[in-house]
Structure 1
Amino acid sequence: APVDIMDEEGTAMLPVKGGKWFTEMSVGSHMLNYDSLLVLTHFKGHTMGGFGGSNKNIGIGCADGRIGKKMIHTGDTGTQWGISKEELMERISESAKATADHFGDHIAYINVLRNMSVSCDCEGTAAQPVVTPNIGILASTDILAADQASVDLVYALPEKYRHDLVERMETRHGLRQLSYMKELGMGCDRYVILDMDHGDKPITLAEAVKNVKPFKA
């Protein structure tokens, strides 16, 4: 398949509407060549973000490597260490909003809740072992609903299965991603889960996780 490196030929600035940290975000210029975007995300924990869902995927992933990512991670002091955990979540969300607003109704999100380590995939063989059981796959045209439902499904697991991932989310203030997305008007945190295996039947969180089993390597 053809591969298109978004910032291979420079960058472009997308507006950030209603942000308090940014008025615009730098992305790869090739992104403007596309009229739709399908965001496929491996939902898992993250060392800095608490969790990596659709919001973090496009917030960090669509920011270009030279300018955008530096904007997100650099505070007023000139170093990333000058940024509080909650501020980082807000900066990621504002960056994500730039991309989400750019594509408007022509963007959709898929979160895959399988092999969920507390570590990001980028840590490779250094990642912490997976202890959270597989849950399934969520899809939505609403970025906040997708990430909120993913987090809620993790919290709906028995405590012994959710403990490590929930601890990672909370100690990094990752849930600020969700509350700030709501403040920015990026979506709705109330949703209905439709079970695609049973004819679009609405199901509860408890029903969605009742058959999960401990992860076995």
Structure 2
Amino acid sequence: MGISRRNFLRAGAALAGTLATGATLPVHGRAAETKARVYATKSLDRESLRKMYALVCGGITGRVAIKLHTGEPNGPNILPREWVRDLQATIPESTIVECNVLYPSPRQTTEGHREVIRQNGWTFCPVDIMDEEGDVSLPVKNGRWLKELAVGSHLLNYDSMLVLTHFKGHTLGGFGGSLKNISIGCASGKVGKQQLHRVTPEGGWPGGAPFMERMVEGGRAIVDHFNGHMAYVNVLRNMSVSCDCEGVAAEPVRLPDLGILASTDLQAVDRASVDMIYALPENVRAPMVERMESREGLRQLSYMKETGLGSSEYELIWV
């Protein structure tokens, strides 16, 4: 059911050559009629973030939700506020959006969440906690695990969504990319996140392949809702094996900064990000690879491929 280590290492070796030459590369070297475009830059600064967004913003219209992880109190690895501030200022009718969380945190409540948002410096534009006034259900087409996903009710106030993601590891998901940002991130704190995580009465958080599949099905609900009016930007910077939900308790950063990827294809942008990790020397990539494989995190990608959520074939275009 999952993606084998061998296939990813083979892709990683190919991508390593691409990184050196700046050429474009289809995933795993397979021919395909169409490939998703994934734009890439090694530059990490506010100007590069704006440039990457400009390459994929054609479908972004009307009222724009900027979905990002605003982090736990004083989280050390979240996206630089000044980068996001400068980008947000260029996007008309845009608002940062979040939802409350399920795990123990001040962000479980709207009041506590707003205080953390203020503490972390997200004060330059409105931040909409989308489940502040409850949730609504979006259908999940042909779901194995889910028939609907409860999302913050304010999601319906937006016409488009920019998924601005700090790519990193994740304790339960193996890695957190654009898929996690929209699926877990848009699910309402009290209902939707429970649908995805299925926390047991004993307090267990079941993971593995079924969790990855539920996360993909939740992502499909969001993608179908916006119907093409989405763009994805993954920032591969300050990558710990820990998620930003761990805040100051996150594991140290051990991976090098790799740059920024942008696409209008959800699967392609996360797949390209994972491929870049596997392209690193084995001793460098080892902590993140262990985290992804030990949690069956690659099932996110294989289930997206099986269910047709985005493209598994991509062209990496360096800019």
Same fold (TM over 0.5): yes
State the match for 1:52 in structure 2: 176
- Structure 1 residue 121: deviation in Å? 1.1
RMSD, aligned α-carbons: 1.4
Find 1:106's aligned residue among 229, 240, 244: 229
Q: Does 1:153 align with 2:276?
A: yes
| Distance (whole Å) between structure 1 residues aligned to residue 131 and residue 205 of structure 2 | 27
- Structure 1 residue 80: deviation in Å? 6.7
Count of aligned residue pairs for this structure pair? 195
Q: Is the 8 A contact 1:73 1:80 kept in 2?
A: no
Map 1:114-125 to 2 at 5 A.
Answer: 114-125=237-248
Find 1:164's aligned residue among 281, 287, 292: 287
Q: Is the 8 A contact 1:113 1:137 kept in 2?
A: yes
**What SS class does the counterpart of residue 312 from structure 2 fall into?**
coil
State the match for 2:164 in structure 1: 40
Q: Provide TM-score, normalisation by structure 1.
A: 0.86
Find 1:135's aligned residue among 229, 240, 258: 258
Q: Is the 8 A contact 1:74 1:80 kept in 2?
A: no
**Amino acid of the residue matched to residue 26 of structure 1?**
A
**What SS class does the counterpart of residue 127 from structure 2 fall into?**
coil
Q: Deviations over 1:126-151 (max 9, x none)?
A: 11111100100000000000000000
**Amino acid of the residue matched to residue 22 of structure 1?**
L
| Distance (whole Å) between structure 1 residues aligned to residue 258 and residue 219 of structure 2 | 25
Q: Is the 8 A contact 2:197 2:206 kept in 1?
A: yes
| Distance (whole Å) between structure 2 residues aligned to residue 30 and residue 121 of structure 1 | 23
| Distance (whole Å) between structure 1 residues aligned to residue 272 and residue 185 of structure 2 | 21
Q: Does 1:23 align with 2:147?
A: yes
Relative to 1, partners in 2 of residues 1:79 and 1:92: Cα closer, same or farther, differing over 3 Å?
Answer: farther
- Structure 1 residue 13: deviation in Å? 0.6
- Structure 1 residue 164: deviation in Å? 0.4
Stretches of structure 2 lacking an aligned partner (at least 5 in a row) = 1-124
| Distance (whole Å) between structure 1 residues aligned to residue 165 and residue 205 of structure 2 | 29
**Amino acid of the residue matched to residue 56 of structure 1?**
K
Q: Is the 8 A contact 1:73 1:79 kept in 2?
A: no
State the match for 2:306 in structure 1: 183
State the match for 1:126 in structure 2: 249
Q: Provide TM-score, normalisation by structure 2.
A: 0.59
- Structure 1 residue 82: deviation in Å? 7.6
Find 1:174's aligned residue among 278, 290, 297: 297
State the match for 2:219 in structure 1: 96
Relative to 1, partners in 2 of residues 1:146 and 1:179: Cα closer, same or farther, differing over 3 Å?
Answer: same
Q: Does 1:66 align with 2:183?
A: no
* Aligned-pair identity (%): 62
| Distance (whole Å) between structure 2 residues aligned to residue 148 and residue 22 of structure 1 | 23
**What SS class does the counterpart of residue 149 from structure 2 fall into?**
strand
**What SS class does the counterpart of residue 128 from structure 2 fall into?**
coil
